[in-house]
């Protein structure tokens, strides 16, 4: 290579290296690989490895989806408790509307279906709670009977919905289809119980088990993704 060619080559290499830094000598992160935590799939699309059912009814894998049957029962992830993370659940209702829920902050491993109801939180799946005599505190994306929805973005069956639940210490944030529905911190006021089957009021743990509810024979819901990723510690 002749001398002019060498100088052109070195000039190009030098500019490439400098492009990784701004003029203050700081690293140009926009040019780096994405190092944010990746989503970890809890459902493999084939079977219910890692999951266990308690209560009545069942869940099974149908066409790569978890399908609920009968009830009331709960399918929970057995391998760990979750905190400081975002949980993504992609689901659809078989009919125009069905009843189910995603359970979070369950304090101990469930042995029956009612302990998670009373001592955990149910992130509700039900676009029309009025059909069973309930109000907006029982609509999709709320902490069942505890929080009032900030929006009502739930889609009817058979459209797919994406729910993202962030557990940030004692802070719970729920998005449904990219709209915030719940933003709740432990200790904030909640309404009094209206029904015996509603959860007990009081603080939940920062870390807990998670699960998917099968509510009843007429409430079939399909889940095609359950995934989790860590959030940065503050």
The answer, yes or no, to whether residue 123 has pLDDT greater than 80, is yes
Mean residue pLDDT of the chain comes to 88
Which domains, from first to last, does the chain contain? 1-35 (no CATH), 37-230 (2.60.120.560)
pLDDT digits (tens, 9 = 90+) for 195-206: 999 999 999 999
pTM for this entry: 0.84
pLDDT digits (tens, 9 = 90+) for 133-179: 999 999 999 999 999 999 999 999 999 999 999 999 999 999 999 99
- Structure-block tokens of residue 98: 């069905």
- What pLDDT score was predicted for residue 232? 80
Q: Does 106 or 16 have the greater pLDDT score?
A: 106
- Rounded Cα gap, residues 68 and 145, in angstroms: 22
Q: Where does the pLDDT of residue 36 fall: very low under 50, low under 70, confident under 90, or very high at 90 and above?
A: low
Phi, psi of 56 (to 5 degrees): -85, 165
The answer, yes or no, to whether residue 22 has pLDDT greater than 50, is no
Least confident interval from 27-31, 42-46, 202-206: 27-31
- What pLDDT score was predicted for residue 12? 46
The answer, yes or no, to whether residue 121 has pLDDT greater than 50, is yes
- Rounded Cα gap, residues 218 and 98, in angstroms: 7
> Please, are residues 124 and 141 in contact by the beta-carbon 8 Å criterion?
yes
68 Cβ contact partners less than 8 Å away, ≥ 6 residues apart: 57, 58, 59, 75, 100, 212, 213, 214, 215, 219, 220, 221, 222
């Amino acid at each position: 290579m002749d001398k002019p060619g060498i100088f052109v080559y070195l000039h190009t290499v030098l500019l490439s290296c400098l492009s990784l830094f701004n003029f203050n000598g700081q690293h140009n992160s926009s040019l780096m690989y994405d190092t944010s935590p990746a989503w970890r799939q809890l459902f493999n699309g084939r079977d219910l490895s890692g999951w266990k059912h308690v209560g009545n009814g069942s869940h099974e894998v149908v066409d790569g989806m978890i399908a609920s049957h009968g009830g009331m029962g709960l399918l929970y992830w057995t391998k760990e408790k979750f905190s400081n993370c975002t949980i993504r659940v992609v689901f659809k209702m078989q009919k125009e509307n069905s009843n189910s829920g995603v359970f979070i902050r369950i304090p101990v491993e469930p042995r029956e279906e009612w302990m998670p109801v009373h001592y955990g939180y149910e992130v509700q799946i039900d676009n029309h709670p009025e059909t069973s005599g309930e109000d907006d505190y029982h609509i999709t994306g709320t902490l069942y009977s505890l929080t009032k929805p900030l929006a009502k973005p739930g889609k009817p069956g058979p459209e797919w919905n994406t729910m993202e639940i962030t557990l940030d210490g004692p802070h719970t944030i729920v998005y449904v289809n990219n709209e915030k529905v719940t933003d709740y911190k432990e200790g904030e006021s909640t309404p009094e119980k209206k029904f015996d089957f509603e959860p007990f009021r009081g603080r939940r743990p920062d870390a807990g088990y998670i699960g998917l509810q099968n509510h009843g024979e007429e409430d079939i819901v399909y889940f095609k993704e359950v995934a989790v990723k860590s959030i940065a510690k503050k």
